Structure formats: structure tokens, C-alpha cells
Chain A
Amino acid sequence: MNEFIQTISAPWPWYVAGTLIGLTVPTLLIIGNKTFGISSNLRHLCAACFPANISFFKYDWKKESWNLFFIVGVILGAFIATHYLTNPELIKINPVLEQELAKVGITDFKNLLPKDLFSVEALFTLRGFILMVVGGFLVGFGTRYANGCTSGHSIMGLSNLQWPSLVATICFMLGGFIMTNFILPYILQLK
């Protein structure tokens, strides 16, 4: 049993994670005819909390509450993995990336996210504010404008061989590639 816990506490390889994520698609279809997609939850939360008479938020969000139950599960699962399946070693980061980040003063590699960029203190630095607030806004605005995110388009849509989802996925990747390689280096210099 201890050996089992040790094995699953080490970081999981990509093929294990990819298989489990892929299996979410048929699991949700079979247990309740549900089409996988996570960003819709942001819309449901808006519809539930601040509909403001906007037609986009006037629908029966309670009919979609399964997705909110799903996301509560994701939060619980992350809690369980963090507290009971803790990886004894530090997260291994590509040394090239480590060097690049060290040049702009990001030296804390102990956590899943760099504290220098994502924390309450970082919010009061220019780069921290841009990454947390502007970045978050773009995630919420962009996913709804694209009518889906990585789960709804890149996993679910591609699994059902939908070409619009392939267009969306290519645009997600292109946007991310442009940001990381051509814009982020400048943002990270804004301390």
C-alpha cells in the first residue's frame, strides 16, 4: 500500500494524465449525456450571480448545475492531491527556462506557480497586476468569445472531429505562442 502511495505521489507521466483526461469525454457522456467543457462554468456563475438583465445570461443555469458539481470536484481533487499525494521532490523545470526567468528576478521554483508573479504581494507590482488581472480577464473574455476553452474545443470538440474546434485550438496555441515568446519577456521586465 505504501509503495502504491509512493508511486502515485511522484509526478504522473504525460501518457497516464492524457489517457485519464481523454476518458473524461466518454465518462461524462455515459453517466449523464454531458458534453465536456469547463469554461461554461464562468458563464453559469455570471448567470447565477450577476445576470444584470443581459440576454446572454438569461437562461436556466440550474439546468447546467452538473458542471458546477464537476468543478467543485476539481477543487476537491486538487486539494486531495496537494495534501495527501504530495510529491517529495521539487518540480523539475527546463534549465533554459530557469535561466531566462532568473534574469528577470524570478528565482522561486518551489511551487507550481512563481510567488514572484502570483500572490497578493505580486498584485501590487506592475507585472503581477498585468498577469493576474489582465491575464484573467483575457481568459474569461476569450473563452466565451471562442465559445469554449481547452476542454470544450481542444479535448471534446477535437474528439468529435469538429473542424471549428480545430480552428479554435490553433488560435489558442498561436495566441499563447505569441504571448510567451514575443510579449511576456517585456511584461516580466516591468517590476
Chain B
Amino acid sequence: MSDYTQIANSDKSIPHNNSVKKETAISLIKYSIVGIVFGIVFVKAEIISWFRIQEMFKLQSFHMFGIIGTAVVVGALSVAVIKKFKIKTLQKETIVIVNKPFTKGHIYGGLLFGLGWAMTGACPGPLFAQIGAGIGSISIVIASALLGTWTYGYFKKKLPH
């Protein structure tokens, strides 16, 4: 497992990567540029459409399965290449992928999110993209999602994990 001398897989509940140096506001803009491409893809491939999500869960269309499947294959090949060739970041740091340890929340939370995903027709990314696409009423859905996240934080210790 010599890969892991270069690629440290760490388990932390807060997804922060402490090995990363602080960045300035200017250098953070590069993440906005990646976000812009992502937002364009969301709209142009109709991923933010409520109808596409209904078609997916009714098995009436291959579109969304094709997108998620291709994304996973391309992502997995990329991660494998990064590990194999020990590719560093542009700042010459070792690439660290922060993994998430399993809890029962993956099952309970996963099912609850699935219910909400089919209702709103959007996961968190598309919700923000819908705002950009000019569907202002989605701000109500986002406000409710924030309340949901806040409520989880409030009750976290009492929930089974």
C-alpha cells in the first residue's frame, strides 16, 4: 500500500483538511470558476429539472443514471491516476482525500434525504443553481433546507448514529 504514503486517507467528521495552507480571497476565486462550469452543466444537462428527477425515480429515462454513472467512472479513474502517479496540488502539497466514517446516519439520513430529493426534485447543488436560473421561489426551499440542517445540529446528540 505504498500509495498511502503519498495519499493519506483520514477520517474526520468535520471535512476540514488541516494540511492545506490558508488561501487569500483572490485565490479563492478559482473555486468560483469551477463552480461556474458546474452551474452551466447543471442547467444545460437539465439536471436541475424536477421532471428529470421524477423520470429517474420512475425509471422512465436513462439520462440521470447516465450522468451519475459517467461522473463516478471519470471521478474514480481520476482519483486512481492521482494515487498511482502521486500527483501533487498546484501548491506542491500532497493530495489528501478526507473520508467520512460510516454511521447509521448514512442509512437514516440517506433515506430522509432521498425522500426530500424526490419531492423538491433537487439535491443541494441544483437548489443553488435554480436560484441562478431565476426561479426565486426556490429561496423558500433553501431556507427550509437550512432549517433542516440547523435542526439536525440541534438534535444531533439525541439521534441514533
Q: Which residues of A contact B (CB under 8 A)?
A: 8, 11-35, 37-43, 45-46, 50, 52, 54, 56-57, 59, 63-67, 69-82, 85, 87, 91, 93-94, 96-97, 109, 111-114, 117-120, 122-123, 130-165, 167-181, 183-184, 187
Contacts and interface: CB of A to CB of B under 8 A. Distances in A.
Nearest to A11: B46
A179 B38 contact: no
Contact of B145 (A15, A74, A139): A139
Contact of B57 (A37, A170, A180): A180
B137 interface: yes
Contacts of A149: 113, 123-125
B150 A67 contact: no
B32 A76 contact: yes
Interface string B30-52: 11111111111111111111110
B34 A38 contact: no
A177 B59 CA distance: 9
Contacts of A50: 150
A78 B133 contact: yes
Given A32-B23, A141-B109, 4 more contacts: A91-B46, A118-B135, A132-B140, A170-B110
A96 to B, nearest CB: 6
B123 A21 contact: no
B144 A31 contact: no
14 contacts: A18-B67, A25-B79, A30-B87, A31-B89, A46-B146, A56-B156, A74-B132, A75-B39, A81-B43, A94-B58, A113-B49, A142-B110, A159-B79, A175-B113
A106 B27 CA distance: 46
A29 B40 contact: no
A50 B78 CA distance: 37
A20 to B, nearest CB: 5
Interface in B104-129: 105-125, 127-129
Contacts, number: 514
A65 to B, nearest CB: 6
Interface of B: 9, 13-17, 19-20, 22-23, 27-51, 53-58, 60-64, 66-76, 78-79, 81-82, 87, 89-91, 93, 95-103, 105-125, 127-135, 137-138, 140-154, 156, 159
- Interface secondary structure of B, over-half rule: helix
Given A17-B47, A69-B31, A142 B40 contact: no
A178 to B, nearest CB: 7
Given A14-B62, A22-B75, A138 B129 contact: no
A46 B153 contact: yes
B60 A97 contact: yes
A36 to B, nearest CB: 8
A187 B133 CA distance: 26
A114 B111 contact: no
B78 A59 contact: no
Nearest to B43: A81
A168 B34 CA distance: 26
A37 B16 CA distance: 12
Contacts of A79: 39, 132-134
B89 A14 contact: no
